[in-house]
Structure 1
Amino acid sequence: MDPNEVPDDDAATSGGALPRRAPGPPRPAPIAEIDALSGDPSFMTSLARGLAVIRAFSERRKSMTIAQISQKTGIPRAAVRRCLFTLAQLGYVHDDNRSFSLLPKVMSLGHAYLSSTPLPVMAQPFLDHVREALHEACSLAILDGDDILYIARSATTTRIMSVDLKIGSRLPAYCTSMGRVLLAAMPQAELDAYLLREELKPLTDRTITSRASLLQALAAVRQNGWAIVDQELELGLRSLAVPIHDTSGTVMGAMNVSVQAARVPVKELETRFLPVLLEASRELSMQLL
């Protein structure tokens, strides 16, 4: 065993404290989260590692090697290898000897959630109505960890982002309109914790990277009841989002429309797009009563 590795499986949590780590750069979020929870004797480290390995794959990294997954997650290579072997045996991962990719069976994990919650199904007609009224893609997302997770979408034939967004796509919350709506609805203690752990990376020269500036932007979202993000995620992309509430007034998700900045000015988002999106949000929220 590599001397820098911790043992795999749950034995790592039952035999005393984990070995000390030398000071260095911030550790990848997956292993940092796992280590933070591994002191609980009921916490299953091996399961957490397997889920982190699945989440390491993305649209930009559809096929990855053991070394790449280890670097992205912070999980030791030997443990990554065992996770991938298990996932391959169960039919969730394809192994072509040098690299690995997810198999369609993984979709059953997400389907279990989508089929157990009415929100995506109930939202789809409203997303379709917004798309037909504005001739722009309309999406619904929830906050999942520090990202927004797309759970429903009514797309157009024109792609306005470099990444083709689909159900299951994830984007950082801090620089997206739906993320701002969802962050603004967080209890203050949870928001403070988010700001402490999230690295506000400059994805464009317009991205808010100051925590103070982000807090000001979130305060404006609370006051206005909606959010516009102008080319912070990707140059040439503007988006407008509004919240979706449940019966108690709690924000369950966010609905947005994304447009090409060269074609739709911010003022038009406010005057023509916002009323349509707010009406769809109100009607969907009423359906959730």
Structure 2
Amino acid sequence: MARKTDDSDQFEHSGDYVQSLARGLSVLGAFDRGHARLSLADIASRTGLSRAAARRLVLTLVHLGYVRPAGKEFVLGPRVLELGFGYLGSLNLTDLAQPLMEDLAHRVRQSCSMAVLDGQSIVYVQRVPGQRVMSVNLGIGARLPAFCASMGRVLLSGLDEADLDTWLAQCRPVRLTPHTETDVHRLRRIVADVRRQGYAYVEQELEIGLCSIAVPLRNAEGRIATALNVSMAYHPDAARQAIDSILPQLLLTAAAIEGCIPANRLPAVSA
């Protein structure tokens, strides 16, 4: 989770901040893959709300269709999908990018994913699974730390220097493997290299045995909007294979997606 900035704290004390809306969204955010069914006590605990406040918010969300009862517990309701699909639909990803990504995944025999930057994380907005490489099963909406992910570094390369300075100042890198780069100054140089070469290759920084290579997708203004990657298992020749064999295919797919998705429907990356 991204660290709050001073501006965020100030806004939460302003007259424009709608606390009830924020609390309602925190209830929806309490549900995830590992917490698909929650009691009122669970929701109160995970959100930091009182049980009474959690109850009022849950009952309102039940009435609206975003949450539904499941015995003495609650689960997300079908209507919550509208929130995600509305965003995905605005990107035209489902109908247009999916078959191109499926074709790429078939050709390289690896998984292919697309993500956007959200604070200190990348968020998956499309994924075509291939052979299982990661220990976790990623799907649409999954989040990974941007600093050590290939798509994260591509997306960071799309920030201007001022925004990148702010992002790096808020970054708190954690060593996930012995190979994870955690020095912020070196990360800045890595992002500069990615910006210059047009792709990012990451080897075993996110998880042992995992490598990935990513390229940008640009909007009409030429700004990076999303990132596209291919993940593969580590072997001694993985870097050469990724750059010599997979990167050309990845670039062709990125160009095809840029060509068929209306560019003005792709938002630019934001920190």
Q: TM-score, length-normalised on structure 1?
A: 0.79
Deviation at 1:198, TM superposition (A): 3.1
Which whole-Å CA distance do the structure 2 matches of 1:29 and 1:183 have between them?
A: 17
Please state if 1:101 is matched with 2:75: yes
The 5-angstrom pairing of residues 84-99 of structure 1 reads 84-95=58-69
The 5-angstrom pairing of residues 18-33 of structure 1 reads 29=3
SS in 2 for 1:161: coil
Deviation at 1:127, TM superposition (A): 0.6
Counterpart of 1:50 in structure 2 is 24
Which whole-Å CA distance do the structure 2 matches of 1:83 and 1:32 have between them?
A: 28
Which whole-Å CA distance do the structure 2 matches of 1:217 and 1:65 have between them?
A: 45
Change in 2 beyond 3 A, CA 1:48/1:232: same
Counterpart of 2:190 in structure 1 is 217
Deviation at 1:100, TM superposition (A): 4.1
Give the residue type in structure 2 aligned to 1:199: R
Counterpart of 1:193 in structure 2 is 166
SS in 1 for 2:147: coil
1:218-261 CA-to-partner distances (Å, cap 9, x unmatched) read 11111111001111211111111000011221111000001111
Deviation at 1:47, TM superposition (A): 0.5
Give the residue type in structure 1 aligned to 2:87: Y
Deviation at 1:262, TM superposition (A): 3.7
Please state if 1:161 is matched with 2:134: yes
Counterpart of 2:100 in structure 1 is 126
* 8 A Cα contact 1:120 1:151, kept in partner: no
Please state if 1:286 is matched with 2:259: yes
Which whole-Å CA distance do the structure 1 matches of 2:41 and 2:88 have between them?
A: 32
Which whole-Å CA distance do the structure 2 matches of 1:100 and 1:34 have between them?
A: 30
Change in 2 beyond 3 A, CA 1:247/1:238: same
Name whichever of 220-229 and 74-83 sits farther off.
Answer: 74-83
Which whole-Å CA distance do the structure 1 matches of 2:237 and 2:49 have between them?
A: 44
Counterpart of 2:208 in structure 1 is 235
Aligned residues: 262
1:23-52 CA-to-partner distances (Å, cap 9, x unmatched) read xxxx98579886442233122111012213
Change in 2 beyond 3 A, CA 1:227/1:76: farther
* 8 A Cα contact 2:2 2:120, kept in partner: no
Which whole-Å CA distance do the structure 1 matches of 2:34 and 2:99 have between them?
A: 30
* 8 A Cα contact 2:62 2:69, kept in partner: yes
Which whole-Å CA distance do the structure 2 matches of 1:165 and 1:49 have between them?
A: 27
Q: TM-score, length-normalised on structure 2?
A: 0.84
Please state if 1:144 is matched with 2:118: yes
* 8 A Cα contact 1:69 1:80, kept in partner: yes
Change in 2 beyond 3 A, CA 1:178/1:69: farther
CA RMSD of aligned residues (A): 2.8
- Which ranges in structure 2 are unaligned for 5 or more consecutive residues? 264-271
Counterpart of 1:248 in structure 2 is 221
* 8 A Cα contact 1:138 1:155, kept in partner: yes
SS in 2 for 1:104: coil
Counterpart of 2:269 in structure 1 is none
* 8 A Cα contact 2:216 2:224, kept in partner: yes
1:113-142 CA-to-partner distances (Å, cap 9, x unmatched) read 222332443222221121111011111111
